[in-house]
Structure 1
Amino acid sequence: MGAIESLAAVFGLAFLRYLPPIALPAFTPLRWAPPLVRIVLALGLAWLTVLALPASSMSAVQQPQFNWVAAAIGELSVGLVFGLVLMLPQAALHVAGWLVDVQAGLSAATLFNPGAQGEAQSMIGAALGLLGTVLFFVLDLHLELYQALVASSMVLPLGQGGVRLDASAFFSLLGSSFLLGLAVVMPVVVALFAVDVGVAYATRAMPQANVYFLVLPLKIIVALLLMVVVLPFVPALLQRLYQDAFARVPTLLGA
């Protein structure tokens, strides 16, 4: 294999590593970028990574016994781990907003929305998702993601395998992400629970009155006002949420 073929092979392996977290995002802040922009970004990072690699990485792919199938699967596995730590914090924010919607009664708005087409929608979840997308770039968390991706090529050389995905680390990441996501809306959840206790007492005292629909506007107002109150604390919590997920990448990869 010549020098040009080796360069192209290493470039392809690097692109496979960057493809899942950048070019094919599902529920991440990067999904708002056009597909062409994401693909060009993945190609650019792959090319810069190849230029920064030592010569030993080029010589490794020139061996006759080099297993291309295993190398491609290994690179995609590393990329999927990075895509996972990018997706779970955003999903945790959406679930936390959905929980507030259910408690505040905003989930009933789907019944009166002709454009919903029977699909469950979360108003506060969507708002938190948009806020998380903005803060992801404002807090330079995207730069931390790219730096971690490039640094992974030094710790886990391209095409040389050695990836052992840890299931227990995945469940630990899942639990910590949704726990930190719940911390964003915890004051709202506690306050709405207190309102529900008062509504239950009023229902017991006045069973003939439809207290739920009478108190529903109050619960929505309380939820929206408390969301405004907790907004100043969201950037720090969101940064902690993503940084905790990024810090768990080595454990997920079996390091």
Structure 2
Amino acid sequence: MELSAVLVAQLVPYILVFARLGSVMIFMPGFGDTAIPMRMRLMMALVISVALTPASGVPAVDLAQPMLLVPLLAIEVTVGLWIGLTARILFSALDFAGAQVAYVAGLSNALAPQTGQFQGATMISGVLTLAATAMIFATDLHHLILRALLLSYEVFPTGRLMPGDLAQQTVRAASASFSIGLSIAAPFYVMGLVLNAGLGLTARMMPQLPVFFVATPVLIVSGLFVLVLAAPAMLSGWAEVFAGWLGRLSF
């Protein structure tokens, strides 16, 4: 075999690893955020691929039939996109929780001229997602992400694809994301129930009181106060589920 063919065969594992990890980096929370420039994400994917290829166990591929590389690349890209999208689905639990907080706290009131119907939800969701992204790196959760990338080669060996299992796991990820969002937003449901019940009784006892104008600032202040107190527990609850999924890549 010629030296050039040997070198190309040794280079193929790096290409296959980059196909999977580069696809993961498109959606992976922290690494794939849109705030990071595309060139930096591309360079980061290249560096991580070079670093992890020797430990991934991807064998050298004989390129006597180059067309065999096409289905391998397609499978690797599919697996990488699934990992990244599943992580992003779990990350969307914070968006859902932020929207629920905004609705309960009155920040998404259509009659509020300063916040509007969607601006309040976007604001709270942005705060939670930004805090979660910072927590990923502050708590070394990004190291667990890198370990999960290596684990993916044990769960999904190179060249093997299980579409049925991937679809089932995606459905479970969506269910888990919805459950996480509801659980971490639960304190605000309790707060909204108590405050609205109290304001309703107040309106019954004092019919002349403009309850709407009184309730809005009370709900907003109370919601922000509860958010300050509950945010650490909300983020840690999400991080625990996210770390558990990274440790096994299944639900």
Matched with 2:212 is 212
On the 8 A contact 2:23/2:81 being kept in 1, the answer is yes
CA distance in 2, matches of 1:231, 1:76: 35
SS at 2:59 equivalent: helix
Matched with 2:90 is 89
Deviation at 1:155, TM superposition (A): 4.5
Matched, 1:41 2:33: no
CA distance in 2, matches of 1:130, 1:178: 19
SS at 1:108 equivalent: coil
Deviation at 1:208, TM superposition (A): 5.4
Q: Which stretch shifts more, 214-223 or 147-156?
A: 147-156
CA distance in 1, matches of 2:196, 2:51: 56
Matched with 2:195 is 195
Distance of aligned partners of 1:193 and 1:64 in 2 relative to their CA distance in 1, 3 Å threshold: same
TM-score by length of 1: 0.82
On the 8 A contact 1:21/1:86 being kept in 2, the answer is no
TM-score by length of 2: 0.83
Which structure is richer in relative contact order (CA contacts within 8 A, separation 6 or more)? 1
On the 8 A contact 1:106/1:123 being kept in 2, the answer is no
Q: Letter of the 2:71 partner, please give it.
A: A
Matched with 1:163 is 162
CA distance in 2, matches of 1:205, 1:92: 40
SS at 2:63 equivalent: coil
Matched with 1:5 is 8
Q: Letter of the 2:75 partner, please give it.
A: G
On the 8 A contact 1:13/1:75 being kept in 2, the answer is yes
Q: Letter of the 1:58 partner, please give it.
A: A
CA distance in 2, matches of 1:123, 1:84: 23
| Structural mapping, 1:99-110, within 5 Å | 99-108=100-109
Deviations 1:143-180 (A, max 9, x none): 1111111232345343x223334233222221112212
Matched with 2:30 is 29
* Structure 1: tracts of 5 or more residues without a match: none
Which consecutive segments of 4 or more residues in structure 1 shift more than 6 A?
Answer: none
* Structure 2: tracts of 5 or more residues without a match: none
Distance of aligned partners of 1:189 and 1:42 in 2 relative to their CA distance in 1, 3 Å threshold: same
On the 8 A contact 1:181/1:241 being kept in 2, the answer is no
Matched with 1:227 is 227
CA distance in 1, matches of 2:91, 2:22: 19
On the 8 A contact 2:101/2:121 being kept in 1, the answer is no
